[in-house]
Amino acid sequence: MLSRRILSALQATRPFSTTAQWRNTSSHLSDGEQTIHDKLIARFAPSHLKVLDVSGGCGSFYAITIASESFNGLSTIKQHKLVTETLKQEIEGIHGLQIKTIPQLSPEN
């Protein structure tokens, strides 16, 4: 049986990685979130997209979760590289970026 301390450590996660909802709309986004959101929509046509400024509103760290058919058949590293290449200009002005990519099956499958 796990001790409470170990169990608490295992359950401890950063809130932006588990509690934020999927965002398929661009309403209520900060300027930085909106810029990232728009570029990712244009490039990947995602089925799901969440862009969240997790730096307390100063725009220095973003968490992105994106699901797209564009990632099918690619390794996680290649998926992340596609996202970072798309956001190259934005990345130059921020401190950090958390990316979660999810391949999606095409509707025909």
Share above pLDDT 70 across residues of the chain, in percent, rounded to a whole number: 71
Share above pLDDT 90 across residues of the chain, in percent, rounded to a whole number: 63
Task: Note the pLDDT of residue 108.
Answer: 60
Q: pLDDT class for 57, splitting at 50, 70, 90?
A: confident
Per-position b or e across 50-61, b if 16+ CB within 10 A of its CB: bbbbbbeeebeb
Residue 9: pLDDT over 70: no
Question: pTM of the predicted model, to two decimals?
Answer: 0.72
Which domains does the chain carry? 29-103 (3.30.300.90)
Task: Note the pLDDT of residue 28.
Answer: 83
Task: Note the pLDDT of residue 19.
Answer: 35
Beta strand 96-103 with 61-68: parallel, antiparallel or unpaired?
parallel
Q: pLDDT class for 29, splitting at 50, 70, 90?
A: confident
Q: pLDDT class for 109, splitting at 50, 70, 90?
A: low
